[in-house]
């Protein structure tokens, strides 16, 4: 098992499942949710939790924009990048109005409150194997 502190493609997929799973125009009322899927013989159960409510609307675009900026920065070893609101807005389907800046801030706060737990299970040598990991996205807004 890789113990690297770097963000992996699996972390990004996990975050994407959580954020993009709701596209309703109105805020959902649930504060936790589950996604289940199978890929290459591995069953994944992803449970998301957020005290600010389930991500929705623009949140999936926000997460993709942050991932894009992270990769453009060369995936720093400390998993940190500095992003100005303007550089983030350039990657979003939003105007530069004050109203859309508020939408962006609300989405970022919602995404920052998301924590997920993912259990992967697969058939090992004569037994079913499981691995559970917990993750979240941490950032500071200034």
pLDDT in tens, 28-50: 678 888 888 888 888 888 888 88
Six-digit token string for 8:
């992996």
Pairwise pLDDT comparison (128 vs 25), residue with the higher score:
128
Burial class (CB in 10 A: 0-12, 13-18, 19+), 39: exposed
| Phi, psi angle pair for 120, to nearest 5° | -110, 135
Average of pLDDT values for 75-92? 89
Domain carrying residue 82: 9-136
Length of the chain, please? 142
Residue 77 has pLDDT above 60, yes or no: yes
4 found inside a domain: no
Q: How confident is the model at residue 6 (pLDDT cuts 50, 70, 90)?
A: very low
Residue 12 has pLDDT above 80, yes or no: no
Q: How confident is the model at residue 16 (pLDDT cuts 50, 70, 90)?
A: low
Tally of domains in the chain: 1
Token pair 């058939």: residue: 123
3 found inside a domain: no
141 found inside a domain: no
User: b/e map of 1-26 (b: 16 or more CB within 10 Å)?
Assistant: eeeeeebeeebbebbebbbbbbeeee
88 found inside a domain: yes
Residue 109 has pLDDT above 80, yes or no: yes
User: b/e map of 101-127 (b: 16 or more CB within 10 Å)?
Assistant: bebbebbbebbbbbbbbbebeeeeeee
61 found inside a domain: yes
39 found inside a domain: yes
């Amino acid at each position: 098992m890789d113990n690297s502190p770097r963000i992996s493609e699996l972390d990004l997929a996990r975050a994407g499942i959580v954020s993009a799973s709701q596209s309703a125009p109105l805020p959902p009322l649930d504060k936790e949710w589950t996604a289940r899927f199978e890929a290459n013989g591995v069953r994944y159960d992803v449970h998301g939790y957020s005290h600010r409510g389930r991500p929705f609307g623009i949140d999936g675009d926000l997460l993709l924009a942050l991932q894009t900026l992270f990769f453009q920065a060369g995936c720093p070893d400390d998993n940190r990048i500095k992003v100005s609101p303007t550089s983030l807005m350039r990657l979003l389907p939003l105007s530069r109005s004050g109203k859309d800046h508020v939408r962006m801030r609300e989405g970022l706060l919602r995404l920052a409150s998301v924590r997920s737990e993912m259990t992967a299970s697969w058939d090992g040598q004569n037994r079913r194997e499981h691995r559970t990991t917990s993750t979240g996205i941490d950032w500071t807004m200034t």
